[in-house]
Amino acid sequence: MSAPASLTELWVYLAASPLTALTMTLIAYQCGMWISARAGFSPLANPVLLAVLLLVGLLLVTGTDYRTYFEGAQFVHFLLGPATVALALPLYRQIERVRRSALAITVSLLTGGAVAAATAVAIGAFFGAGPDILASLAPKSVTAAVAMGIADKLGGLPSLTAVLVMITGVIGATLGPLLLTLLGVRDPASRGLAIGTAAHGIGTARALQMSDLEGAFAGLAMGLNALATALLLPLVWGWIF
Amino acid sequence: MLFYLTVILVCQLAGELIVVGLGLPMPGPVIGMILLFAGLVIRGGIPEGLTRVGDAFLSNLSLLFIPAGVGVVLHVGLIAQEARALGAALLGSTLIAIAVTGVLMHLLTRRQRARAGEGRGETGDRS
C-alpha cells in the first residue's frame, strides 16, 4: 500500500477502517463523561447525548456516512444484547422487594406503559403528524431493539423509531429524576420503575448510578414494558386504526 | 470471567432461538434476561465471576446506546420537518408517563413502606 498523499486521502483511508469508528465512539463517550463530571453530574449534561452530538458533528464535518461509521460502531452496539441479559443480576438482587410489590409493579407498569404510548400518539396527532410518524412514535418508550420491531409491525419507520427511542431515553434520564423529586416520589423503587417504564435502557443506566435498588426496578420495568408493549400495542393498534 | 461471558451469550442465543422458534413479538435478549434470572433463582445465588462480568456491562450501559443514537443523522430532514409534533410528543408523553408510573407505584406501595419502616435514609443501597 502506498503512503496517503494528502490529509483527505489519509482520512478516507482511516474512515474505511472499523477501528476508527470504534475508537471515536469510545473517545466521544469519554469526552461526554468528562464534560458531565465537570458539570457536577448535572442531569442536563447527559454523557450519551453529548457523545452523540460530538459524533454527529464529526460525521457531518468529515462527510462520513452513517453506514461507514456503523461498520466500526457495531461492535459496541452488539454489546447491548448481553448487557440486556445481564440486567437479570440487579433484578435477582432485589427479588424479595420485587416479590413483595408484585401487584403494585404490575398495575403501575401497565398503566405507565399504556400512558406512554397513548399520550405520544395523541400529542403527535394533535400537532398534525402523519400515520407513519405516529406509528413510529407509539413504541418510543420501549428499548430500541423491541421498539423497532413494533414500529415495523404498525407501519412506522424503524430507523426513525430508533432515534425517537434515543431522545425519549435522554429526556427521561435528564428530567425524570427532577420531576419525580418535585412530585414527592422519593423511594428508589418507585423512581426506578417510573424511569425504566418511560425511558428504557438510557433511563436504567441513569437509575443504576443512583442506587442498585433504583437500577434494579428500572431494569425490571424496562424488560416488562418491552414485553407488555410488544404483546399489547399491535393488538390495540389494530382495533383503533 | 470467560466462562460467565459464555453463560450470558448462551442465554442470549437461547432467547433468540425461542423468539424465532415461537414467533414471539419480543427481542431475544429480553427472553435471555428471563432465562438467566430463572437460572439464578434455581441456583439460589449469583456466582462471583458473573457479578464481575455483569457489572462490567451494566456500569457502562450508556456507552452502548451511542451507535444507535448517532443514527439521528439519517433523519435530520424528517425530524426538522416534524420538529413540533415530535418534540411535543416526546417531551410531553415521557414526562406524563414518568409522573403517572412513579406516583402510582409510590401510592400503591406506601402502606408497605410504612410497615417496613423504610421512610428515612433509603438511598445508600449501592453494592
A15, A59: one domain: yes
Same structural domain for residues A113 and A221? Answer: yes
Instruction: Dump pLDDT digits (tens) for A75-84.
Output: 999 998 899 8
Between chains, do A26 and B63 touch, taking CB under 8 Å as contact? yes
- Is there a single domain that holds both residue A49 and residue A88? no
Domain for residue A71, yes or no? no
Place of cell 433523519: B75
% of chain A with per-residue pLDDT over 70: 98
CB contact under 8 A, B67 and A77: yes
Nearest-Cα distance to chain B for A199, in Å, is 7
- This prediction's pTM: 0.81
Q: Which parts of chain B register pLDDT below 50?
A: 119-127
Name A178's Cβ contacts closer than 8 Å, sequence gap at least 6.
A43
pLDDT tens digits, A45-62: 888 889 999 999 999 999
Q: What is the mean pLDDT of residues A132-143?
A: 93
**A123:B29 CB<8 A:** no
Report the pLDDT value the prediction gives residue B117, as an integer from 0 to 100. Answer: 63
| Mean predicted lDDT score pLDDT of chain A | 90
- Encode pLDDT of A194-235 as tens digits: 999 999 989 999 998 899 899 989 988 988 898 889 889 988
Nearest to B63 among A76, A92, A101 (CB): A76
Structural domain span for residue A215? 80-240
So what's the pLDDT on residue A23? 95
CB of B47 less than 8 A from some CB of A: no
Closest-CA residue to A164 (of A190, A130, A141, A188): A141
pLDDT band of residue A95 (cuts 50, 70, 90) is confident
Interface of B with A in 104-123 (CB under 8 A): 104-106, 108-109, 112-113, 118, 122-123
* Cross-chain residue pair A129–B85, CB shorter than 8 Å: yes
Residues A59 and A112 occupy one common structural domain: no
Expressed in angstroms, the distance from the first to the final Cα of chain B is: 19
All cell numbers assigned to B5: 461471558
* Residue A176 covered by a domain: yes
Looking at beta carbons, which residues of chain B come within 8 Å of A84?
12, 27, 29-30, 32-33
Task: Retrieve residue A194's grid coordinates.
Answer: 417510573
A165-183 average pLDDT score: 94
What is the model's pLDDT at position A149?
81
CB pairs under 8 A between A and B: 342
Residue to test with chain A: of B78, B98, B112, B125, most A Cβ within 10 A: B98
By the 10 Å C-beta count (0-12 exposed, 13-18 middle, 19+ buried), B90 is classed as buried
Domain match, A151 and A197 both: yes
The per-residue pLDDT for range B64-82, each reduced to its tens digit, is 889 988 988 888 888 899 9
> Per-residue pLDDT tens for A104-115?
999 999 999 999
Q: Are residues A118 and A144 in the same domain?
A: yes
Lowest mean pLDDT segment, chosen from A25-34, A181-190, A205-214? A205-214
Q: Give me the phi and psi of B58, to 5 degrees please.
A: -70, -30
The count of domains in chain A is: 2
Pick the more confident residue, A151 or B25. A151
The answer, yes or no, to whether residue A133 has pLDDT greater than 60, is yes
Q: What is the predicted pLDDT for the residue at B84?
A: 94
A123 in the same domain as A21: no
Q: Do B98 and A198 touch (CB under 8 A)?
A: yes
Cβ A190 vs Cβ B124: under 8 Å? no
Cβ–Cβ below 8 Å for B32 and A103: no
- Is the CB of B103 inside 8 Å of chain A's CB atoms? yes
pLDDT band, residue A68 (cuts 50/70/90): very high
Contact B66 A133 (CB under 8 A): no
